[in-house]
Structure 1
């Protein structure tokens, strides 16, 4: 690993249906939002229970996987963080998203039975 390694691994639930976007270049990408629960330590510092991350799939294989996801599905994603800048109404804004390298649907955890 070098000093400039940009890799993230997140596990969470799909927040909403994936969307196909066609860029001005003609390239297509599929994006969705991933909700990740905050740790117990983080919840002690904030009332916010989850963080939401935008995820973008660029390859045809990952686009297909993303389009088969349903809201609430448990997934694991890995990739690199990217930052996009845009200017609207005279101001500049930015957002960070996960540029997906892998996407795996996870099985639901077993439901504990009450005896």
Structure 2
């Protein structure tokens, strides 16, 4: 998805869930090709992490996670830690509490080179 479309769709949420995560990687080769095909329009999954976080989403930057097998496009699936994190997030019934989540995210991802921006 292109970044401008993401911004406009995000703005249409009247009551955006607090646990809105965007996983990205600056070295994603599939998104690089997608951007080329789209005439150079930036893709959300390869956008600047700080810019995305400023939109009010939680950004998990996987740029430094090594995954050459999938052209860096499926880093989230190649990492058991990330899969568990996503599963925990999907299974939570209550609202996402950033004060609770930060230590949990850091603990779950300690072995990886992952940046998390709120």
User: Structures share a fold, TM > 0.5?
Assistant: no
Larger Rg: 1
The TM-score normalised by the length of structure 1 is: 0.22
Higher strand share: 1
The TM-score normalised by the length of structure 2 is: 0.22
Higher helix share: 2
